[in-house]
Amino acid sequence: MPRRIRLCPAGIPQHIVQRGNNRQACFASDNDIKAYAHWLYEASSMFGVQVHAWVFMTNHVHLLVTPMEAMATSKMMQTIGRQYVRYFNYTHQRSGTLWEGRYHSSLVQEETFLLGCQRYIELNPVRAGMVDDPANYRWSSYQVNALGVESKLLTPHPLYLQLGKTKPQRLSRYRELFQPHIDGELLIDIRYALNKGLVLGTDRFKAEVEELTGRRVHPMKRGRPRA
């Protein structure tokens, strides 16, 4: 079966996950994470991709980004992948593949799902049982979006900026978003869209994406087609 062509139009946010091959570790030290983050910053700047959220876990990476040009995200991820694999294999005296094939991605509707997807990403360490509070995990954008830590990697999304007129207001209101748990239905929707390379959004938004790209983004109905 041929590879599914990626959906990567300009100006629409994307949720990306890149996993280690066979769920093996892709970060073995803090220096590894720092190296990946450095190349992420360089590649996102080079190809015009705004990075709104991230989390670097032991065996995978989540990103929420907006490409300013079509296919910019693919170029960014290809560049990071090549640079980081060379570094990782040399540093840890290994050879062969590191990533689990192609990265997964889904388009994200801004108004309805973007901040929910951002919460999903930054709560990964909590769901994994690594910390009780996302503020206690160093390698995510929560410390930037919720605590005000400075980072040249992050470009706040306009919806984030609308949380308050001042930085203290935005930080406070963003932290308030994390008080309720993400409901199970949203978790299922986020994971399904990501794994299938589809779209996280309303039916109207999916129709708009289909018209824009000429690609089907609604999941096909199961079962044999009627005669």
105-133 confidence digits (pLDDT tens): 999 999 888 999 999 999 999 999 999 99
Q: Which residue has the higher pLDDT, 202 or 97?
A: 97
Rg (CA), the chain: 18
Q: Phi then psi for 32, rounded to 5 degrees?
A: -65, -45
Residue pair 145/53 in contact (Cβ under 8 Å)? The answer is: yes
Average pLDDT rounded to a whole number, residues 215-225:
53
Which CATH number applies to 14-211: 2.40.280.10, 3.30.450.20, 3.30.470.30, 3.30.70.1290?
3.30.70.1290
Higher pLDDT residue, 211 or 102? Answer: 102
- E-only strand ranges, 72-172: 104-108
16 bridge partner residues: 63, 105
In degrees, rounded to 5, the angle at the alpha carbon of residue 100 between the alpha carbons of residues 99 and 101 is 95
Domains in the chain: boundaries: 14-211
* pLDDT > 90 fraction of the chain, expressed in percent and rounded: 69
What is the reported pLDDT for 220? 53
Tell me, what's the pLDDT at 148? 97
